[in-house]
């Protein structure tokens, strides 16, 4: 049986309309905090225990700064919203200074081999991740109406940081996308004949604004799951998007089949998109907009693989060889 306290935290977060993955992450770190304190109830802990835990993450586990920040956010939520005893603003703990890893980037030849070895059922979302620079969850959460064939673009709503953006769409994907939409429509027509079907999941604000949109075809996921399932929050029968875990697995399998001796993930396709755009002479500001980065310095990390070295610096050794 699961923890009653963690179940309560989960239900409170659902009530406050937190995203599913935010709930999973926060509960993971809250559970880790409780275990770190020998399962002492969080109500019996406060600033000191939180400081020790966050320092432990840095000193012993060597977590990345973003990981430590996520753990802190989870505990801030816990004490502000659940325990009702907010943490001190100036916590004293060892802050993570671990350097982020440079992104893995594939060559165009490796990308071609990888995409050729991905099964037909998973190839299209992978081509969108590479061809449009999408994150994994941005690809699987695409709705039918997010594809703009007239302007060869894809609309990304509520991406990382809650930002919206419009990205490029390769014209070579127009025909496969139209085929995918036709296949999705067959499932949709089958679903709406089911008297128990409650439509696609809608963000809460949109659900209030457009109460009938859940049954409209355009709002349905472009890559729908193979079977209907019950929404864990409302218990309504819906067709969710494809499982991102399966997509990750197929990308790794394709990398092995392609004999690519690099650590390949779905995000590698996005890294490669950005680097290849820069290699072709695209302006870094344009690449920044396509990726949805708030800070240009985040985009500049991709210059490390350009032909003339990081940031266009030519090595003096080249003059001697």
All structural domains of the chain: 4-82 (1.10.150.130), 142-240 (no CATH)
Active-site choice (165, 248, 252, 267):
267
Q: Are 104 and 122 in contact (CB under 8 A)?
A: no
Q: Helix (H, G, I), strand (E, B), or coil: what is residue 112?
A: helix
pLDDT value, residue 312 = 59
Active-site choice (122, 127, 135, 250):
135
Does 141 participate in catalysis according to the annotation? no
Pairwise CA distance, residues 317 & 299, whole Å: 27
Does 210 participate in catalysis according to the annotation? no
pTM value? 0.81
Kindly list the distances between the CA atom of residue 88 and the CA atoms of 48, 67, 84, 134, in Å, as whole numbers in the listed order: 10, 20, 13, 38
Does 135 participate in catalysis according to the annotation? yes
Does 270 participate in catalysis according to the annotation? yes
Q: Give pairs for 263-266: CB < 8 Å, separation 24+.
A: 263/104, 264/104, 264/106, 264/114, 265/104, 266/126, 266/129, 266/136
Active-site choice (20, 80, 160, 304):
160
Q: What angle do CA 262, 311, 268 make, to 5 degrees?
A: 25
Q: Which two tokens stand for residue 119?
A: 């099964």
pLDDT value, residue 127 = 97
Q: Are 126 and 270 in contact (CB under 8 A)?
A: no
Question: What is the full per-residue pLDDT of the chain (321 aa) written as tens digits?
Answer: 468 999 999 999 988 878 788 999 999 999 999 999 999 999 999 999 999 999 999 999 999 888 999 999 999 999 999 999 999 989 999 888 866 677 889 999 999 999 999 988 899 999 999 999 999 999 999 999 999 999 999 999 988 877 899 999 999 999 999 999 999 999 999 999 999 999 999 877 677 777 888 999 999 999 999 999 998 878 999 999 999 999 999 999 999 999 999 999 999 999 999 999 998 889 899 999 999 998 888 888 887 656 555 555 667 767 786
Q: Which two tokens stand for residue 280?
A: 């072709």
Pairwise CA distance, residues 281 & 194, whole Å: 52
Does 79 participate in catalysis according to the annotation? no
Active-site choice (143, 241, 270, 271):
270
Pairwise CA distance, residues 124 & 118, whole Å: 9
Does 236 participate in catalysis according to the annotation? no
What strands, in cross-sheet order, belong to the sheet with 153-156? 147-148, 153-156, 165-168
């Amino acid at each position: 049986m699961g923890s009653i306290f963690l179940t309560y935290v989960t239900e409170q977060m659902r009530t406050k309309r937190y995203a599913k993955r935010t709930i999973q992450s926060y509960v993971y770190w809250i559970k880790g905090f409780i275990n770190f304190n020998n399962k002492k109830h969080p109500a019996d802990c406060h600033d000191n225990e939180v400081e020790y835990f966050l320092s432990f993450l840095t000193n012993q586990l060597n977590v990345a700064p973003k990981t430590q920040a996520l753990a802190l956010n989870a505990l801030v939520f816990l004490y502000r919203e659940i325990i009702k005893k907010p943490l001190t603003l100036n916590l004293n703990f060892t802050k993570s200074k671990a350097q982020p890893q440079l992104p893995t980037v594939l060559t165009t030849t490796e990308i071609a081999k990888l995409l050729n070895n991905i099964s037909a059922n998973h190839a299209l979302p992978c081509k969108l991740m590479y061809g449009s620079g999408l994150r994994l969850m941005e690809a699987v959460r695409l709705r039918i109406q997010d594809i703009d064939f007239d302007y060869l673009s894809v609309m990304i709503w509520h991406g990382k940081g809650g930002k919206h953006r419009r990205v490029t769409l390769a014209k070579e994907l127009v025909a496969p996308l139209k085929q995918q939409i036709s296949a999705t429509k067959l499932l949709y027509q089958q679903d709406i004949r089911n008297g128990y079907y409650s439509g696609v999941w809608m963000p809460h604000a949109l659900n209030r604004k457009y109460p009938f949109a859940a049954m409209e075809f355009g709002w349905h996921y472009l890559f729908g799951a193979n079977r209907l399932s019950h929404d864990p929050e409302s218990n309504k029968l819906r067709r969710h998007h494809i499982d991102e875990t399966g997509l990750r697995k197929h990308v790794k399998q394709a990398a092995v089949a392609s004999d690519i001796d690099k650590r390949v993930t779905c995000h590698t396709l996005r890294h490669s998109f950005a680097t290849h755009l820069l290699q072709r002479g695209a302006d870094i500001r344009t690449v920044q907009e396509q990726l949805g980065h708030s800070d240009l310095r985040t985009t500049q990390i991709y210059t490390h693989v350009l032909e003339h070295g990081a940031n266009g610096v030519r090595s003096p050794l080249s003059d001697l060889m």
